[in-house]
Amino acid sequence: MKTRTIGSSVVPAIGLGCMNLSHAYGHPPTPELATQLLHKAFELGVRHFDTAALYGFGANETLVGEALKPYRAEIHLASKCGMTGVDGKRVIDGRPETLIRTLDAALDRLQTDHIDLYYLHRWDKSVPIEESVGALQRMVAAGKIGAIGLSEVGAETLRRAHGVHPIAAVQTEYSLWTRNAEIAVLEACRELNATFVAFSPVARGFLAGGVSSPQALVEKDIRRTMPRFQEPHFTANSVWLGQFAQLAAEAGCTMAQLSLAWLLHQGEHILPIPGTTSIAHLQENFAVVELEVSEAILAKASALINQASVSGARYPAATQTEIDTEEF
């Protein structure tokens, strides 16, 4: 089984992003079905579980905390602060007092006395990164968190933060169709011995063949606001999707599995965290820890899908201003 080191833990090389059990992609499953999926994930061997205060405005942490409480000592639990729901709206706030308050609420919801990895979900650019990380450093000293992570930051910001306290992980979107991390952050993580946690590793379902058309996305699905899921970009990207399906068939795996296998091949410090509401897809994704795909097929996939062949920005313009990652 392929594994990854994150913080002081060794975990299977595929984790679980828990966001869409409560948030973001239209209608989430019932808490009962979501709990069944989390239990199945543990049964399969998943040990790295990723949530955040933002997801469902606290509901996801509550769900994860209740469902995984029996397994708490056996899992690596990650959550995030710095972006939360306030009066029904998403707010980025990196002030130390806010981060500490968010952490204390998260510990209650997660029914634990510590979180193994705690991320700054977004860098609040009105607050020096050193101040936000300094607050989290104090929480490490207090035993409330085991390690500090950052999300959607560039290499320069990562290095500044690392100067305050070692950064155990950086979480950013990374997949065949989002390659920004290759500009600088992947290498910076390698140099600093930080794990790179890849969210949306199958392109929010697109690389799994899971989005038939923009019209198929239900109301309140956040993909409806993303340029790649709007025309003319959706049709342009669908042109090469058929070729990708053929590559997966040649490899004897699914499109999602080929996407994840490609990611794992990019570095031993890369940990993908696909999310799903389907137990069948959960099983399919986790099976990649035992999957071998030839380098020739992985190279073809990389040449087919990259920043030159993908049409459209990954975020709408307003959201783009909130992140710190390098752009092509």
The residues assigned a catalytic role are 55
In order of 8, 220, 226, 291, the CA distances from 214 in angstroms are: 42, 13, 10, 31
Task: Please state, as a whole number, how many other Cβ atoms lie within 10 Å of the Cβ of residue 76.
Answer: 22
Residue partners of 71: CB distance under 8 A and separation at least 6: 42
Q: Are 34 and 21 in contact (CB under 8 A)?
A: yes
* Token pair recorded at residue 308: 């030159």
What torsion, rounded to 10 degrees, do the Cα atoms 148, 152, 154, 156 define?
-30
CA end-to-end span of the chain, whole Å?
A: 34
C-alpha 307/C-alpha 22 separation (Å) is 30
* Token pair recorded at residue 178: 């989002």
Task: List the beta bridge partners of residue 11.
Answer: 4
C-alpha 323/C-alpha 312 separation (Å) is 17
